[in-house]
A = this chain, B = another copy of it.
Amino acid sequence: MTDPRYTSLVATLPSTVPFVGPETQERARGKAFEARLGANENIFGPSPKAIAAFRDAVDGIWMYGDPENHDLRHALADFHGVGVANIMVGEGIDGLLGYLTRMLIEPGDTVVTSAGAYPTFNFHVAGYGGRVEAIPYREDHEDLTALIARAKDRDAKLIYFANPDNPMGTWHSGDSIAAQLDDIPDGCLLILDEAYVELAPEGTAANYQIEHPKVIRMRTFSKAYGLAGARVGYAMGAKGLIQSFDKIRNHFGMNRASQAAALAALQDQEWLAGTVAKVASARRHIADIAKSHGMTSLPSATNFVAIDTGRDGAYAKSLVTALADQGVFIRMPFVAPQNRCIRISCGPEDKLALFEKALARVL
């Protein structure tokens, strides 16, 4: 008896995973982390109104969610001043990146990204047989000019560009991005991943016509809105592109309670403003901790801070491991020279105090 016949592509894929979750590490060490500061989650949590909406929705959890995500999409359209047809809601940006890659990439196609940028995007590209061209960061910033130039050179179908960036936390002005959109070659689409943009300085979000055929923008409720576990992201772009998701997406894939929670979170912009202030304060605290140990930290437009250890990737890795042993979960960039840094998620004072104490012990 033979095994199932996998596609030639799937047969060649490795069973690797984009990230190992903190729970896996906790099971290995036999106890929970005391401070979970590694996954860029928002430890300040979601709006109490989002929590209430999530709880209330459980009464209807016997029902499938609305496959059109009607209410959330309408609220998002109003909020952003775009048409409902310009918005697609999905199972986090991860889910939407998967759908988008499937729509555009077939074996042999090229995408361009930054070396050490979001690995889940690379996972999706590999999963559809695409080739990844990776451009180095320029002074710890993603380099849009170089990404576009390489896309031209290699006839790429997709460019992935996060602003603000993960894992470094750096950012570009929205104006500088908008000014480059027309340089994107024909037949190439820019994925503008703005997962952290609500936490960035005014002017970081790029301003351009929503029907621009060269760009799709990704947003999420997982970061500033504090709903990572609810899996709600959205894409904004030209109607034709957005409508194409309907050809392939898991129409009944959205959690009903998550739809309600995201809507309530969006409607509580006052809570969001409070989160932005708390995150800014936590960024300063993390920078101070770094400084007190003679390390510098990178300016951040996100809910995490990259601390420059001043040494190499092996050293940074030893810190990540030693901190985990102390009960503090953090992560670090994958690729040199960014991997000289460790990456700390923002959180309340008590969690940062645990990090501070553990770091002092480790150093």
Residues of A within 8 A of B (CB): 1-10, 13-19, 21, 23-24, 27, 36, 39, 41-46, 51, 54-55, 57-58, 60-68, 70, 91-92, 94-95, 98, 102-106, 120, 127, 157, 186-189, 213-214, 222, 226-231, 238, 240-241, 243-244, 246-248, 250-258, 261
Q: Smallest CB–CB gap between A154 and chain B, Å?
A: 14
| CA–CA, A246 and B13, complex, Å | 10
Residue from B226, B247, B254 in contact with A231 in the complex, judged by beta carbons closer than 8 Å: B254
A25 to chain B, nearest CB (A): 11
Contact between A250 and B63 (Cβ–Cβ < 8 Å)? Answer: no
Residues in B whose Cβ lies below 8 Å from that of A120: 251-252
Q: Given that A36-B63, A91-B91 are known contacts, is A102 also in contact with B10, CB under 8 Å in the complex?
A: yes
A157-B52 Cα distance, complex, nearest whole Å: 47
The answer to whether A7 touches B104 (Cβ under 8 A) is: yes
A363 CB, nearest partner CB in chain B, Å: 28
* Residue contact B54 to A257, C-beta cutoff 8 Å: yes
**How far is it, in angstroms, between the C-alpha of A254 and the C-alpha of B91 when the chains are bound?**
9
A42 to B62, CA, bound (A): 6
Contact partners of A15 in chain B: CB under 8 A: 243-244, 246-247
Cβ-defined contact, B61 with A229, below 8 A:
yes
CB neighbours (8 Å) of A102 from chain B are 7, 10
Across the interface, which residues of B come within 8 angstroms of A41, CB to CB? 62-64
Q: Which 6 A-B pairs have the closest CB atoms?
A: A229-B256, A23-B66, A13-B247, A4-B189, A61-B229, A2-B186
CB distance from A274 to the nearest CB of B (A): 14
Q: Which residues of B contact A240 (CB under 8 A)?
A: 3
B10 and A103 contacting across the interface, CB-CB below 8 Å: yes
- Chain B's nearest CB lies how many Å from the CB of A256? 3
Contact between A13 and B43, CB atoms less than 8 A apart: no
Is there an interface contact between A226 and B62, defined as CB atoms closer than 8 Å?
yes
Q: What is the CA–CA distance of A61 and B222 in the complex, to the nearest angstrom?
A: 9
- Which of A5, A41, A228, A251 has the most chain B CB within a 10 Å cutoff? A5
In the complex, the chain B residue whose C-beta lies closest to that of A226 is: B62
Q: How far is the CA of A2 from the CA of B226 in the complex (A)?
A: 37
Distance, CA A95 to CA B19, complexed state (A)? 20
Do B253 and A64 touch (CB < 8 A)? no
